[in-house]
Copies of this chain bind each other. A is one copy, B any other.
Amino acid sequence: MSKKLNIGLFGFGCVGEGLYEVLNKSNLLNAEIKSIVVKTKNKKRTLDESYFSYDSNVILEDPEINTVVELIDDAEAAYIIVKKAFEKGKNVVSANKKLIAEHLDELISIAKGKNLSFLYEASVCASIPIIRNLEEYYNNDSLSGIQGICNGTTNYILTQTNYGKDYKTALKEAQNLGYAESDPTLDVDGFDSKYKLQILIKHAFGISTSPEDIFNYGVRYVTKENVNYALEKNYHIKLISHAVKLADKVFGFVAPHFIKADHPVYAVENEFNAVIVEALFTDRQLFVGKGAGSHPTASAVLSDISALQYNYQYEYKKAESAKELYFSNDFAIKIYLGSKNEIKLKTFDFHEKDEIFQSREYNYITGWISFSELLKLDFNKEEDLFFAVLPEPFKSSEYFKRSEKEELLFA
């Protein structure tokens, strides 16, 4: 028989409201929202004010509540709530990727110490059940890579720039549709995609990272020249959260990629998200679904709640085998790098150049470059630079060190 869940819900924004609705319409028995705590009083909400409390202790100090669902925006406030919930012996479901990216190991250890569950499927690609599948289904397979379109806002913008709109128009549209915040930094500079990548890396490879470890570059300064170059070559530009295992290293970063027409995410457009899992035995698996929105996100939260009824916990099995793996930025990728100013391009040291294009209006280089060259700059702040990853497998840095040595030998 399933356990009765008395839920304390923090937050009643878009997802919280969705959860309330979805829970009522679902056939999930034995689960009930007992209290809802929100921050702001006298705000227009879909439920009467009598449903809400404003003091987190209404939930945290209620011994009847055994399940905390945390759906607030503020990662720091969430951190305090989640820790206290564990302290009080309550299981936690969260959708807060920033909280998880920043504090996962600590929270795992606290939850484990008290034999509590900490589930957060909704934090990565909302309705796509990627964490559960990495945990349960690929737990014995050897994963070689993971690639995701994890941010619907930027995918919407890039789809629209592809159709000929400029970045600013596309962003405004995304804001009007409710996909983008008035300050879109977290989305368009790739922070949101990075938090999700960190969570994916943890479940796919067992490796813990902190946000500072991982390079995130977004789409703020994509120009029509970049889009046109891509379209000429039959590429779509996508913001990809990308992690690859090469021998004992895992490389991971967020950046725009040029995606070929035969690649499974080429046709994943607008607000949709996608994740590709590359594994030794299962080969390449693609998951596509809505990555945000009230109901898709709430349904992921609901699945976690449902799993709590049988005391489900993530096992982080990959962490065992990850002892010989470490996170690294020491690799080389093939990129397209463009600028109106050719002098800017000359400051980058490429291993090999494939194409050099110069004109009065625009300039670009394609070729192999050490990732460390890209780490020198904060690309999100470089208005007149744009780079995108070309569709070639990453190489370890040794590859080019070796060939440079060989070149010396024959010089």
> A residues engaging B (CB < 8 A)?
18, 22, 25-28, 127-129, 132-133, 136-142, 264, 266-267, 279-290, 293, 295-296, 298-300, 302-303, 306-307, 317, 320-321
In the assembled complex, the Cα of A140 lies from the Cα of B286 at a distance in Å of 23
Question: Known: A285-B127, A286-B288, A289-B285. Contact between A140 and B279, CB under 8 A?
Answer: no
In the assembled complex, the Cα of A324 lies from the Cα of B27 at a distance in Å of 14
Question: Known: A133-B129, A281-B299, A283-B295. Contact between A25 and B142, CB under 8 A?
Answer: yes
In the assembled complex, the Cα of A266 lies from the Cα of B306 at a distance in Å of 33
A26-B142 in contact (CB<8A):
yes
B296-A281 in contact (CB<8A):
yes
Chain B residues lying within 8 Å of A288, measured Cβ to Cβ, are 264, 285-288
Chain B residues lying within 8 Å of A285, measured Cβ to Cβ, are 127-128, 287-289
Chain B residue at smallest Cβ distance from A276: B288
Q: Which of B140, B267, B320 contacts A303 (CB 8 A)?
A: B140
In the assembled complex, the Cα of A280 lies from the Cα of B23 at a distance in Å of 12
In the assembled complex, the Cα of A167 lies from the Cα of B104 at a distance in Å of 54
Chain B residue at smallest Cβ distance from A127: B282
Number of copies of this protein chain within its complex: 2
B283-A286 in contact (CB<8A):
no
Q: Which of B26, B287, B295 contacts A287 (CB 8 A)?
A: B287
Chain B residues lying within 8 Å of A138, measured Cβ to Cβ, are 303
A140-B282 in contact (CB<8A):
no
B296-A140 in contact (CB<8A):
no
Q: Which of B282, B299, B317 contacts A290 (CB 8 A)?
A: B282
B286-A139 in contact (CB<8A):
no
B267-A266 in contact (CB<8A):
yes
Question: Known: A136-B307, A137-B132, A286-B287. Contact between A281 and B267, CB under 8 A?
Answer: no
Chain B residue at smallest Cβ distance from A19: B281
Q: Which of A139, A293, A299 has most B Cβ within 10 Å?
A: A299
- Can you list 12 residue pairs at the A/B interface with Cβ under 8 Å? A22-B281, A27-B321, A127-B283, A127-B285, A132-B136, A132-B137, A137-B303, A138-B303, A140-B303, A267-B267, A282-B296, A283-B296
In the assembled complex, the Cα of A400 lies from the Cα of B122 at a distance in Å of 42
Distance in angstroms from A209 CB to nearest chain B CB is 22
Q: Which of B139, B299, B320 contacts A141 (CB 8 A)?
A: B299
Chain B residue at smallest Cβ distance from A280: B25
Chain B residues lying within 8 Å of A28, measured Cβ to Cβ, are 140
Chain B residue at smallest Cβ distance from A298: B281
In the assembled complex, the Cα of A293 lies from the Cα of B289 at a distance in Å of 26
In the assembled complex, the Cα of A241 lies from the Cα of B303 at a distance in Å of 26
Chain B residue at smallest Cβ distance from A274: B286
Distance in angstroms from A271 CB to nearest chain B CB is 10
Question: Known: A129-B133, A280-B25, A286-B288. Contact between A302 and B140, CB under 8 A?
Answer: yes
In the assembled complex, the Cα of A206 lies from the Cα of B27 at a distance in Å of 13
In the assembled complex, the Cα of A283 lies from the Cα of B183 at a distance in Å of 28
In the assembled complex, the Cα of A282 lies from the Cα of B142 at a distance in Å of 29
B280-A289 in contact (CB<8A):
no
A281-B264 in contact (CB<8A):
no
Chain B residues lying within 8 Å of A140, measured Cβ to Cβ, are 26-28, 302-303, 306
